[in-house]
Structure 1
Amino acid sequence: MQTPFRHRPLEEPRSIRVLELQPALNAFESIVCKLRTLSLDDYPHGDANYTALSYTWDGQKPSCEIECDGRVMLITLNCDVAIRSLRSATKIQVLWIDSICIDQSDEAVVERSGQVALMGEIYKSAAKVVIWLGQSNRRVEDAMRKIKELAHIAQTANVGDRRAINYANRTSAQNAIREQIELISSSKLPLTAERCLPIDIDTGITHASDDPFGPLFECSWFHRVWTIQECTLPAYERVTLRCGTREISWAAVFLVADFLKEARYRWGRHEEAMALQTRIVTYLICHRIEGAREALNQNAGVLQNDPLMFSILENIRMKQATDPKDKIIGMYGLLQELKIDFPSPDYSLSVEEIFREATITSIKHDKKLHLLYQAPSDRRRESLASWVPDWEEVGFHPSDMRHAVLGGQFAASEPGTFVCSFSQDHKELILRGKIVDTVVEKYEALPDTRSFSFEGENKHAERLILNHIASITMKSWVEVSRRADYPTGEPSKDALQRTLVYDQPKINADAVRDNAFNDWYDNMCLEDMDQVARRWRDTESSRTRATTPDMALTWKLFGANNFHPLAHTFSSKKCFFYTAKNYFGTAPDPLPVSMMEGDKIAIIDGLEMPLLLRPAGDKYRLITHVYVHGIMHGEMWPEIENSLDDIILF
């Protein structure tokens, strides 16, 4: 075993390599295998005789020697341990493992791109898929045992059998189609459970460290991009999950994760770990089974059953990949299965080109522009076109107040329209819309409430500091809002109140209850607050420069006011701005490129929220979405809809 292994080139575009793992009497014997080729065309019904391994590289470098076709091949430690776990004492095992069966050398980039394009089919055709979580780990195995117990209880108690939770309005026809869906999926896996398990799964848990399921859903496998298609494309009864020597069905994991969500189990990362898999399973069922989409769509608003690439990409941001290109390429097999027309994988393209093509494909397929709300993020790469999200970045979590508000709350333009095009080289996005205003002043952003821990012996001091900073910041916003009558004709005071809470109807009602906002506003206008604000502005030191008496005063004025925390929460990580036409609003801040004077406010056909654009000649760079009070509900649309312009983003 002296000569390094080199792959022989594949001769046919739909050929793949599988490895024949030789048996060994114990786990410590050297790994010996052979590679042979087969064609996926020979298995049109997905009945190939190999086992596909789904695992993570975890940043490991190939360092373990194996013998492949009589030569030396290096594999990662995680792969080595997985192979030893799968190896039989008496029989040859036929396996497909990406790091061995795909030529990973730099010279094979074209072949590797072609093999990656087939990976969805490879997993879908496998006789069995083994999800490998790693070497034996007591806490992970305990979680697996707990899940197996709960899945057994669910089965014997008939929990969730062919029914759905909280959907009492579904007709018998809908239940029948769900029954058919579950039977055809060959796993009797319910989409949702009719009721929670007949035990209290939260009993005795007082801290995250007590969560019995946490160690499982913390495993890196649940948070990698490549594993998504590997566990969703195959039939469920073919997929098992293994840690060390313990093994459970993937269907059991899926089922219990669904129960945990429906039970609003608050511990651990089970929802983050499984949310995208759940969504994609629904998409696949609707795609594969006649009548499924129509039946499920009768409950519109609860489930989104038509595959939106926007939704997939948004969720993919939370997953991890060593190569940023894989954030997109790793979903190719699923996109193909869902009939989303995305170009074949090509690793010779740049990250920027791949991210741009994903964005274009999503806009064309979904016939929506929601993707533009994903463009602003904390560390987006400068080389991207301004309208292309940085898919390597996690983006704004829905709990981050910089996240765009969807769901029909706003309608700056006519809802439901979709008009856009692309330049010939695909580097520019051409929208239809109107520049309606210009930013003339920007004011300091409110800090993030989550930047303070509020724990330990300093928690009271932190509350005082945060309250003071928020009070001083919003004091300046109040001063600006009082400059002129508001263009809509409503009192500027009312416009400010609605702006501070993002015009959320329920929060607007809470704001006026018990005179909370009026008291808050009156206190902001006190002479004492004027003096505190002047001292704050006149001091050159850090943000902890406030004096104890000043902090005591702002705490006295706002510490017990019910509106103050509402305003701070909904305006957190946003700056306040004033426009040339005397409108005001809030915008996400901080950003790598934040708002500045001279930026334009644009209403775009097909978008609920206005966009902030930075002019560059006759084109624009997209900065972010914004809230501008008085134009969020279509107030300007009637006067501009017949005079829209081409707005070119680059």
Structure 2
Amino acid sequence: MYLKETDVIEPPEGGWPNLSANLQSLSKTDEVISLLYHLPYIRKPSDDRDKAHGAPGCYLADWQKLGSSVSNGGTTREILKLVSEGSSIHEEMPPPHVISLTAGGRYNPVFLLDIKLGVVHWYECPSEIRYEPSREPIEDDPYDYAPEKEAEWRAEDSSRDLIIPRWRLYLSLRGSSLEAIPQTRFEGDGQVRFELELLSEIRNMKATIAHDKVYSLYSVFQAMGINLPSPDYGKDAVKVFEEATLAYIRSRQNLNVIAITLPPDPSSGSPSWVPDWLTPGRNGSALIWKITDFDAQYHSTTPILTDNTRGGKLGVMGKVIGKINKRIRCPLVLDQALSHIQAYQEVISACLDWRHSISSLTRYSPGKDPKLVGQALLRPYHANVPNSKLGTLYRWALHGDGTSPPEDETTLEAITEKRKLRENWVIFTLDTGYCGTAHHNCQAGDDIVLLKSLNPLVLRPQSKSHEFRIVAPAYCEGAMNGDMNSHNDELEEIILV
């Protein structure tokens, strides 16, 4: 759409005056208010009939103008939330880190910017766009991270999330200024999350020469306090990516960066500990634990790399939790020729296999309910299994010893009504008595290893002793987020290749 340059008003240096005081009643976070301070807006004409559209049939919110209306009594907080968030959502009280980018009448689209998650949520998105989007949407499960009421409107079939990475949002608002990047700009673990989001998104940056995926961000790395070797286009791109990854690890004394994507294909010649920055895509549920689950420690005084870090190999200290001796995969009920009963029997067989396996594990107290692992078995069929139509089957799979499986029509329909299933996860058991979930690339014989400063990984042993390739991050019941504390005398050298 065409928009006249004069229709856009830019913020003065330092941001829009009085905006914080005017919008105080909205109870938004300081980060949201800071963003609104620096946004450009579309000028509001004297005659609403001449008002410019931000998109077809869509009016964008002019928060500096709306804020003034609240302060001078021209409108109220309730009305402002109603016209910006819509009648269906504003009663559910979107969290303080969510702000609408639109404001208008009953039929005006509702675009909600989530500063914390780095996404734009399009409520009641038209089906033509929802099912054929021009950019890749997020395939997530709001029940994983949001309170029930919030998850309900996020998960509605008519809604859609689009990724707007936090790092891109900051840099676009600040222009060439990198003041947003230093650690003091963020609260809590915000700096770590910011950096990892940036590094993860390198894979989706467009570059004629692969080297520029890293070289174009040199000023950003410098603002983070990370010094990289001078640009050299004579080097192979794989070497450039390796040097950037190693520089980040040495600077932060943390291994988080090696798990922000699945590892590159071995045929690429890249070490498995270097992110796969050449393959565009999204991580989705493939990585099991999200960026927000990373160890938030920012700096460490203890070196985490060993002297064997050289020649494309990364020497680290870690502990082998166990070796995968069995993997159980939820059956994909995709065969249209299968009857409901036949499809259901396949699922029941997987549940019985799971229950037999979990009963033989030695690392968990009798009666312990490993809910996350149990839910993973049926998760491909629903985002919130325990509270869905599959709840009865889920509880039977965990505790139904000696009883017949439920066979009601509601459960049958829940399994077979949607045949497009997510197939990324498998459940594994270890020879040491532990269990967990991981990407389906894992296989029997792989090790589950806990490296210093990182949650578990699936590692595949190589021909040389102590050498491994990364397969994928893993969730291991009883070994997450510091649950399994390893003493130094329990650690051994792990060489990642």
| Band the TM-score falls in, shorter-chain normalisation | 0.5 to 0.7
Question: Is residue 2:490 matched to residue 1:604?
Answer: no
Aligned counterpart, 1:288 = 179
* Cα distance between partner residues in 2 of 1:476 and 1:268: 36
Shift of 1:314: 0.3
Distance 1:278 1:605, change over 3 A: same
List per-residue Cα deviations over 1:601-624 (Å, max 9, x = no partner).
222220133443425313222222
Task: Please report how far the alpha carbon of residue 466 of structure 1 lies from its aligned counterpart in structure 2 after TM superposition.
Answer: 7.1
Aligned counterpart, 1:425? 310
Aligned partner of 1:432: which letter?
M
Post-superposition offset of 1:338: 5.0
Q: 1:517 to 1:469 in 2, by over 3 A?
A: closer
- Cα deviation per residue 1:175-221 (whole Å; 9 max; x = unaligned)? 998899789xxxx999x99654331532896333599xx87x79xxx
SS in 1 for 2:3: helix
Q: Deviations over 1:56-80 (max 9, x none)?
A: xxxxxxxxxxxxxxxxxxxxxxxxx
| CA offsets 1:484-541 (integer angstroms, 9 cap, x no match) | 254221426x23x43133699x9697489976632455679767x7xxxxxxxxxxxx
Q: Which residue of 2 aligns with 1:574?
A: 425
CA distance in 2, matches of 1:148, 1:462: 63
Secondary structure of the corresponding residue to residue 292 of structure 2: coil
Would the alpha carbon gap of residues 628 and 351 (structure 1) be closer, same or farther in structure 2, given more than 3 Å must change?
A: same
Q: Which residue of 2 aligns with 1:368?
A: 254
Matched, 1:347 2:221: no
Q: Displacement of 1:391 after TM fit?
A: 0.8
| CA shift in 2, pair 1:436/1:474, >3 Å | same
Q: Is the CA contact (8 Å cut-off) linking 1:573 and 1:588 kept in structure 2? A: yes
2:461 aligned residue: 614
2:479 equivalent to 1:626: no
Q: Verify: 1:202 aligned to 2:109, yes or no.
A: yes
**Per-residue deviation at 1:368?**
2.5
For the pair shown, which has the larger CA radius of gyration, 1 or 2? 1
Relative to structure 1, is the Cα distance of residues 648 and 333 closer, same or farther in structure 2, using a 3 angstrom cutoff? same
- Tell me the distance in 1 between the aligned counterparts of 2:158 and 2:266: 31
Q: Supply the distance in 2 between the matched residues of 1:264 and 1:153 (Cα, whole angstroms).
A: 35
Question: For 1:436-494, what per-residue CA distance to the aligned partner results, in whole angstroms no more than 9, with x for missing partners?
Answer: 322223334655x9xx7x9xxx7x98998876655544443233223x254221426x2
Kindly indicate whether residue 357 of structure 2 is the aligned counterpart of residue 480 of structure 1: yes
Secondary structure of 1:348's match?
A: coil
Aligned to 1:229: none
**Structure 1 residue aligned with 2:365:** 489
Q: Note if 1:595 corresponds to 2:443.
A: yes
Cα separation, partners in 2 of 1:426 and 1:374, compared to 1, 3 Å = farther
Residues of 2 paired with 1:424 and 1:385: CA distance?
A: 12
Q: CA separation of 1:166/1:277 partners in 2, compared to 1, >3 Å: closer, same or farther?
A: farther
Aligned residue among 299, 317, 324 for 1:439: 324
Structure-1 residue corresponding to 2:375: 501
**SS in structure 2 at match of 1:145:** coil
Structure 1 vs Structure 2 CA RMSD: 5.5
Q: Give 1:518's aligned residue.
A: 395
Letter in 2 for 1:288: E
For the structure 1 residues 378 and 432, does the alpha-carbon distance in structure 2 shift closer, same or farther, using more than 3 Å as the test?
closer
CA displacement at 1:392 relative to structure 2: 0.6
**How far, CA to CA, are the matches of 1:289 and 1:444 in structure 2?**
44
Cα distance in 2 between the residues matched to 1:471 and 1:491: 21
Which position in structure 1 is the counterpart of 2:3? 145
Q: Helix, strand or coil: the match of 1:439?
A: strand
* d(CA) in 2 for partners of 1:432, 1:177: 41
State the one-letter code of the partner of 1:357.
E
Counterparts of 1:153-302 in structure 2, within 5 Å, are 162-163=19-20, 168=27, 196-199=101-104, 201-202=108-109, 206-209=126-129, 271-272=162-163, 276-281=167-172, 287-288=178-179, 294=184, 296-298=185-187, 300=188
Aligned to 1:329: 215
Distance 1:317 1:364 in 2: 21
The aligned length equals 400
1-structure distance, mates of 2:435, 2:459: 13
Change (3 A) 1:371 1:307: closer
What secondary structure does 1:518 align onto?
helix
Cα distance 1:178–1:627, how it changes in 2: closer, same or farther (>3 A)? closer
Tell me, in whole angstroms, the C-alpha distance in 1 between the residues paired with 2:424 and 2:273: 21
Q: Is this contact kept in 2: 1:501–1:508, CA < 8 A?
A: yes
Counterpart in the other structure of 1:244: none
Tell me: CA distance 1:350–1:633, structure 2 relative to 1, closer, same or farther (3 Å): closer
**Code of the aligned partner of 1:587:** A
The residue number in structure 2 matching 1:544 is none
Gapped regions of structure 1 (runs ≥ 5): 1-141, 219-262, 530-552
Structure 2: unaligned runs, 5 residues or longer = 41-61, 65-96, 111-123, 137-153
Match of 1:385 in 2: 271
Which position in structure 2 is the counterpart of 1:59? none
For residues 269 and 207 of structure 1, the distance between their equivalents in structure 2, rounded to whole angstroms, comes to 10
| TM-score normalized by the length of structure 1 | 0.48
Q: In 2, Cα distance between the equivalents of 1:507 and 1:517?
A: 11
Deviation at 1:395, TM superposition (A): 5.1
* 1:586 maps onto 2:437 in alignment: yes
Match of 1:320 among 206, 209, 216: 206
Give distance in 1, aligned partners of 2:351 and 2:432.
21
Deviation, structure 1 residue 573: 1.5
Distance 1:468 1:275, change over 3 A: farther
- Does the Cα contact within 8 Å between 2:340 and 2:412 map onto a contact in 1? no
Q: Is the contact between residue 380 and residue 393 of structure 1 (CA under 8 Å) also seen in structure 2?
A: no
- When residues 487 and 467 of structure 1 are mapped into structure 2, their CA distance, relative to the original with a 3 A threshold, is same
Partner of residue 290, structure 2: 405
Report SS of the residue matched to 2:426. Answer: strand
For 1:168 and 1:351, how far apart are their aligned partners in 2? Answer: 47
TM-score, normalised with respect to structure 2: 0.61
Query: Closer, same or farther in 2 for the Cα pair 1:389/1:560, shift >3 Å?
Result: same
More helix per residue: 1
Rounded to whole Å, the distance in 1 between the matches of 2:435 and 2:98 is: 47
2:179, 2:482 → 1: CA distance? 40
- Matched-pair contact (CA < 8 Å) for 2:258–2:273: yes
1:371, CA displacement in angstroms?
1.6
Residue 427 of structure 1 aligns to a residue whose secondary structure is coil
1:23-56 C-alpha deviation (Å, 9 max, x unpaired): xxxxxxxxxxxxxxxxxxxxxxxxxxxxxxxxxx
Aligned equivalents of 2:409, 2:456: Cα separation in 1: 37
CA distance in 2, matches of 1:370, 1:285: 27
Between the aligned partners of 1:379 and 1:289, the Cα distance in structure 2 is: 35
1:630 counterpart letter in structure 2: G
Q: Which residue of 1 aligns with 2:140?
A: none
8 Å contact from structure 1 (residues 583, 628) kept in 2: yes
Q: Secondary structure at the match of 1:501?
A: helix
Distance verdict in 2 for CA 1:510–1:338, change over 3 Å: same
Q: 1:406, 1:608 within 8 Å by CA — same for their partners in 2?
A: no
**Percent of matched pairs sharing the same residue:** 14
